[in-house]
Amino acid sequence: MMKLKVGKELHEVSPHIEINRSTKVIMQDVVIAMMPALLGAVFFFGINSLILVLTAVTTCVLSEYIWQRSRKEQLTVSDWSAVVTGILIAFNVPSTTPIWAVMVASIFAIIIVKQFFGGIGSNFANPALMGRALLIFLWPSSISNYVTTFTSGTDAISSATVLGLYKSGSDFSQFSKWDMFIGNIPGSLGETSALLLLIGFAYLCYRRVVNLAATGAYISTVLLITFIFAKDGLFKGDILTNLLSGGLILGACFMMTDYASVAPRVKVILAVIAGLITAGIRLWGMLPEGVSYGILIANCLSGLIEAIIRPHIYGVRLKKQKDRT
């Protein structure tokens, strides 16, 4: 039985200097990075977007607080991770989503997906995406009513997403590539504007919060596969539409980089797996979009991949060689 120091005694142990960064700072950085996309959502889809985001954030934070308070656990609600989850939940639904649906998704994400499994860091999958998945399973109609943006006409009218039109072979020429880039297309709140998401992502890179390799691996896998196996024939995929029109950039920049798997090499492998699944769903699945399932399945596989990928431990391989000879 080891006697480990706890609490105040840990004061004495080395190292005595620490990096100028904490969980809270990281989470605040992610929130800051999502602000441009949030403003864009309000601009494109109206004040309803803001209401949904605030509802989701409030519900997430409150659920976490009440849960930890009632179970007398260490209060971690001040680390801002519930805020990130809340914003991501709202970002993953269209602006027409009823408020109760967002609240249900938030409670499910925080209590079941996060706290049941041990709270921050112990969740097996991205809570926000699990919240969205719950809505798709139970009340698919609540989050399937995509509308056009304010800027594209006077009133918001129901419209399929560009990816949906692309998949069904319909004409989507009313949406230019520029509209897709700046976010002037129907879609979930936070996913439409590649430009604003990338601004946020650039900030995260500047703050060294994210693993650029995982983001790159995910995006390039999706684009490569959808380009090669396009329905019009091999090597005829529409790269820009695939990149800009769905949730790919939101997923790659803010959810693939979520901390569910650890080793850098494992992260890249998981990103490739997520990319394959996303592309597979986009090409051959029933749904037009596969970002959330791709990432969720990759999340669930992280334990397996970590067990397969052997880390390189200093001197151990050499020792085994020497022992054999």
Residue nearer to another protein on the CB measure, 71 or 322 = 322
Residue nearer to another protein on the CB measure, 95 or 261 = 261
Residue nearer to another protein on the CB measure, 76 or 96 = 76
Among 260, 269, 277, 298, binds another protein (CB under 8 A): 260
Listed residue (77, 76, 106, 108) closest to 91, CA to CA:
106
* Nearest distance, CB of residue 86 and another protein, angstroms: 17
Size of the site for another protein (CB under 8 A): 47
Window 261-320: residues binding another protein (CB under 8 A)? 261-264, 267, 311-319
**Per rule CB under 8 A, is residue 121 in the interface with another protein?**
yes
Residue nearer to another protein on the CB measure, 18 or 155 = 18
Window 79-118: residues binding another protein (CB under 8 A)? 79, 81, 118
Among 14, 70, 173, 325, binds another protein (CB under 8 A): 14
Residue nearer to another protein on the CB measure, 119 or 216 = 119
Residue nearer to another protein on the CB measure, 30 or 165 = 30
* Nearest distance, CB of residue 70 and another protein, angstroms: 18
Among 259, 280, 283, 285, binds another protein (CB under 8 A): 259
* Nearest distance, CB of residue 249 and another protein, angstroms: 22
Interface residues with another protein (CB under 8 A) are: 1-2, 4-5, 10-19, 21-23, 25-26, 74, 76, 79, 81, 118-122, 211, 259-264, 267, 311-319, 321-322
